[in-house]
Chains A and B, each alone.
Chain A
Amino acid sequence: MTATAEETTAEVGREIGKDRRRKEDQRLITGRTRWTDNIQLNGMLHVAMVRSPFAHATITSIDTTAAKAAENVVGVYTGKDLEATQGVCINAWPITKDQVAPTHTPVAIDRATFAGEIVAVVVARSAAAARDASELVDVEYAELPAALDLKEAAADTVLAHPDLGTNKSAYWVFDSSEAGTGGDVEEAIAAARAGGIVIEREYRQQRLIPAFMEPRSVVVDPTGEQITMWSATQIPHILRFALAATTGVPESKIRVIAPDVGGGFGGKLQTTPEEWIVWDLARRLGKPVKYTETRSESLMAAHHGRDQWQKLTLAATADGTVTGLKVDLLADMGSHISLVGGGVPVLGAFMFNAIYKFPAYRFACQTVLTNKTWTDAYRGAGRPEATFAIERIMDELAVEVGVDPLVIREQNWIKHEEFPFTTVCGMQYDSGNYEAATEKAKQIFGYDALRAEQQERRARKDRVQLGIGVSTFTEMCGLAPSRVLGSLDYGAGGWEYASVRMLATGKVEVITGASAHGQGHETAFSQIVADRLGVPFEDVEVLHGDTQVAHKGLDTYGSRSLVVGGEALVRAADKVIEKAKPLAAHLLEASVDDIEFGNGRLTVRGTDKGLALTELALATFASHNYPEGMEPGLDADSTYDPVNFSFPHGTHLCAMEIDTETGEAKMRKYTCVDDIGNIINPLIVAGQVHGGLVQGIAQALWEEAVFDDSGTLVSGSFVDYLLPTAADTISFDIAHTTSPATSNSLGTKGVGEAGTIASTPAVVNAVVDAIRQFGVNDVVMPCTPERVWNAIQSGGSSEGAAQ
């Protein structure tokens, strides 16, 4: 590297946009770090759970005698034993005033409502002793009919909770004509039936398992003044609040720590029975208690995601301009309405119109209780479901009109010059350029050449047929403006907190309330602060995840950390500079109006006099000389509540090769051009995009949580729940266009969920495109070789999901 280049690297403004390798990776990858399960405390006890093998059963008796007598067992507790102290698991988002929700006790008391529900707990001096003794707990059950099929459950044929009298939890509607944001969808459909196109489809969003790498783990230490809980959670702050709210312990007596957390994908956006149980046991026994789930338990009892039936009616003019969209959803909540489970389909409600200018829209969702594992957020939460459905049906519209799927999209999308644009849902999209992203994607993908090859293979009836799938997606990120959340009856706000501490030795500590679980906040946030304050990247330490360090925060989910937390950080850093100016003026004997900040230095305008910000930090540590009326210290904090969501978008193109003899679907090429606004760290973004794509592709091709007729999870291990690895994917072509968000000063939009949201429909559209020539218009996800082959054989949709 030349001397010039080195100087350039040291320049302020150089960190943002740089491919920094992640600070946190060495410890995360080697495992030499503080995972919850690594925590060992004096006298610590261990818990094993006894779980119901039945989806629905009355607990007729529990005999704990043998377990209690087993070696090294400290105690065995049933739901009845813990009834007075265990508290309840909360639902923070009752989506309607009359939402029906069963009480969610951590340990079931007299009835088990899904296979995997905890019915008793064993505490022992070692994890092995607890596990051994758990097999000695003798539970007698009287099996009850179980509500398993979503559609049947919605008809109340069998009740998941007989005492509630219905499985229907909440019916939530958004209607553009009622909201005043658009026209009447029934009128649009009627008009289209008379002289246009009406397409009706029903799509299945299969149930998925988040399958984070680190199984959930919780440790509670009740000794001392504060009760400390370590948990492998995405949401230490919400967890602390919920513990205080449900167990009667003052919030000030509770410290929650999310140490390094190994992934979540929404699966750790939860307040869990296991956390409440360990909390109760530790307080009851006066000793530290730990529980770490097995992978089997994790797959069975950590919350699942998706699981919807989506009925769509699309009305369009004869030339393919959409005039209205009606959506009727059934969403499987599982056995309980979990933390934000009911809200997941609602998060999708504003996204079915996607990037398009639909004049009329109606969304109605029925959430339904069943005797399956409860569901909640999973990467994208509501938005992948919506994006899948609309991008699938836009392809159907293109077929109906007889044009290329990109043509039908362009005909309907919001033009670049129309931004900012208020959608039929009342959302204001601040920026975007669908034309640019699409054009770039087509070029990189080689769209025209692949279309030509597709025609050629079709013409010669090649055994391997090519399909091309399109997904032009958008999403709402940066959850969320608190007032909007309030209007949706969500139980919390959407602000974020940050603090910047200037240490005497010139180092900078940054506190964020957005607790990372693998995203790379420590690196990206260091880059932001390094640029903002003109200090070296290495000198910035990002702290998070401990409610005694980051006392405020709303944690990490919904692609919010950078968009909301990053903005809070910028504002805190700017306050530091403003605080430093009078001190610099005082020490430099200049007027504060003449103090300028740049390159980490506060200088007197027009002179070579100046002091580094870090020197001023040291000066405030000594505080021997500072202006009258100023408090010593430069530290500052900020709580930022966003005024709008951010709206990343992108064009994803996928080519799939279908072996028509076996039904095998093999990815040939995948190109995505994502507009996520300004990029802080391209390397981290690439990682998020790659991982996100694979997760979305996995929904299209591989993953499904399958229950048998008695409600037992059949895909209960990674033998049957097919998680892909790097060996199953190809190299993706990823690129970007940039329309900076206008809602935050960094111009960022969020990227944590984009790949997952966009890729699923791109893949399925490609699969269907390859075999539409055989009369196929849908393949149910995951598109297994067998399903694809059956679809080809029968010349229709597989398993009757579509008409």
Chain B
Amino acid sequence: MIPAKFDYLAPTTVADALAALAEHGDEAKLMAGGQSLLPVLRLRLNAPEVVIDLGRIEGLSGIREDGDVLVIGALTTHDEVVNSDLVKTHAAVLAKAAAQVADPQVRHRGTLGGALAHADPAGDLGAPILALGATLVIEGAGGSRTVAADDFFVDLFETAVGEDEVLTEIRIPKHTGWGAHYEKFVRIKHQWPIVGIAATVRMNGDTIAEARIGLTNMGSTPLRARSVEGNLAGSPATEEAVGAATAGVADGTNPPSDLNGAADYRKHLARVLTRRAVLKAAGR
């Protein structure tokens, strides 16, 4: 498991990282926590000439409030997200999903920004980021720009981050007081989800006032189930009503078929698991 030879750069500022990217172009690969990149290198599935390690850049990690927004630095580890009171209070579905990423070792090294930029459709964190309507801050030579989560995931392992850009921050509108649940369906614990459902709901008594639903591994990118969200608004939080409201969650999705299940089975799972996730998020 020896990677092909590469040069290693460890810039200490975003500007230096951008300069390195500009110099090496598509021969370079950014590394955050390395939990997805290193296996790829070791298996020689990819052989970049330069690896640019973002880990020495000050200020890219940490969680803070900015008014109605929670700001998470791209290099914040999953473990920090899981244990953050701010995240648990204002973006609980993200904390719950991050708690189920891989295993403890990976959660201590892997980062939120790295996972999102890697854009594995089976990654656990795209779905909650979509559900929470986050905004992603991307820095490039010309300064920084923001992209809505809806526009961030372009395709399999492809995002709105350009080859000469760096994802620096994830800005999440506070969902204070929203119930949340991440329903991850796996055969063994450290597996990528066969299907994952991120659900967060705002309750009004026994009624679901608002719901946000993100789907993991139901297509080439994480998906947001807007029509289901619409159905759920105003729905009573009962098994029957939620079941009816979420029945169409798999419509129009294009999940993969692999050793863990055929596409049709995944669609079936998505229906069952979305109902369950919403009910759990609603405290039922």
Contact = CB atoms under 8 A, between A and B. Distances in A.
A722 B2 contact: no
Contacts of A786: 260-262, 265
Interface stretch (B91-99, B164-172, B189-197): B189-197
B188 A728 contact: yes
Interface in B181-207: 185, 187-192, 194
Contacts of A701: 187
Contacts of A702: 187-188
B43 A296 contact: yes
Contacts of A132: 4-5
Contact of B259 (A662, A714, A725, A789): A714
A784 B185 CA distance: 12
B82 to A, nearest CB: 16
B188 A719 contact: no
A702 to B, nearest CB: 6
B191 A722 contact: yes
A215 to B, nearest CB: 9
A785 B259 CA distance: 11
Contacts of A725: 103, 188-190
B259 A720 contact: yes
A789 B265 contact: yes
A706 B258 CA distance: 11
A783 to B, nearest CB: 10
B284 interface: no
A294 interface: yes
Interface in A721-759: 722-725, 727-728
Contacts of B262: 786
A530 B68 CA distance: 71
Contacts, number: 59
Given A295-B1, A786-B260, A717 B43 contact: yes
Interface residues of A, number: 31
Given A785-B261, A786-B260, A789-B268, A719 B192 contact: yes
Interface string A643-654: 000000000000
Nearest to A296: B43
B194 to A, nearest CB: 8
A474 to B, nearest CB: 30
A128 interface: yes
A701 B188 CA distance: 10
Given A706-B259, A720-B259, A786-B260, A661 B43 contact: no
Contact of B2 (A131, A704, A784, A785): A131
B141 interface: no
Contacts of A715: 259
B247 to A, nearest CB: 13
Interface string A126-164: 011001100100000000000000000000000000000
B160 interface: no
Interface of chain A: mostly helix, strand, loop or mixed: loop
B190 A785 contact: no
Interface string B250-262: 0000000011111
A698 to B, nearest CB: 9
Contacts of B261: 784-786
A296 B268 CA distance: 33
Nearest to A294: B1
Interface string B1-20: 11011000000000000000
Nearest to B194: A785
Contacts of B154: none
B269 interface: yes
B78 to A, nearest CB: 16
Contacts of B187: 701-702, 722, 784-785
Contacts of B260: 784, 786
Contact of A127 (B2, B4, B44, B268): B2
Interface residues of B, number: 25
Given A295-B1, A706-B259, A786-B260, A722 B272 contact: no
A728 B186 CA distance: 10
Interface string A677-710: 0000000000000000000000001101010000
Nearest to B271: A661
Nearest to B185: A662
B272 A728 contact: no
Contacts of B268: 789
B2 A128 contact: yes
Given A722-B191, A725-B189, A784-B260, A662 B1 contact: no
B157 to A, nearest CB: 15
Contacts of A662: 185, 269, 272-273
Interface in A773-789: 784-786, 789
A661 B275 CA distance: 12
A727 B259 contact: no
Nearest to A659: B272
Nearest to A724: B188
A727 B272 contact: no
Nearest to A703: B188
A723 B103 CA distance: 14
A715 B194 CA distance: 15
Contacts of A728: 188-189
A785 B188 CA distance: 11
Among the interface residues A132, A294, A786, A790, which one has the most CB atoms of the partner chain B within 10 A? A786
Contacts of A719: 191-192
A139 to B, nearest CB: 17
Interface in A441-485: none
Contacts of B188: 702, 722-725, 727-728
B43 A727 contact: no
Contacts of B44: 135
Nearest to A793: B268
Contacts of B189: 725, 727-728
Contacts of B269: 662
Contacts of B259: 704, 706, 714-715, 720
Nearest to B191: A722
A29 to B, nearest CB: 16
Interface in B226-284: 258-262, 265, 268-269, 272-273
Interface string B81-117: 0000000000000000000000100000000000000
Nearest to A292: B1
Nearest to B272: A661
A702 B186 CA distance: 11
Contacts of B1: 294-296
Contacts of B192: 719
A761 to B, nearest CB: 20
A728 B190 CA distance: 9
A701 B191 CA distance: 14
A294 B3 CA distance: 12
Contacts of A720: 258-259
A786 B194 CA distance: 11
Given A662-B272, A784-B261, A786-B262, A727 B185 contact: no
Contacts of A790: 265
Nearest to A720: B259
A723 B258 CA distance: 17
B186 to A, nearest CB: 9
Interface in A467-511: none
B14 to A, nearest CB: 32
Interface string A519-538: 00000000000000000000
A123 B158 CA distance: 39
Given A661-B272, A784-B260, A786-B265, 13 more contacts: A127-B2, A131-B2, A135-B4, A294-B1, A662-B272, A702-B188, A719-B191, A720-B259, A723-B188, A724-B188, A784-B187, A786-B261, A790-B265
4 closest A-B pairs by CB: A727-B189, A786-B261, A131-B2, A294-B1
24 contacts: A127-B2, A135-B44, A294-B1, A295-B1, A296-B1, A662-B269, A701-B187, A717-B43, A719-B191, A719-B192, A722-B187, A725-B188, A725-B189, A725-B190, A727-B103, A727-B188, A728-B189, A784-B187, A785-B185, A785-B194, A785-B261, A786-B260, A786-B262, A789-B268
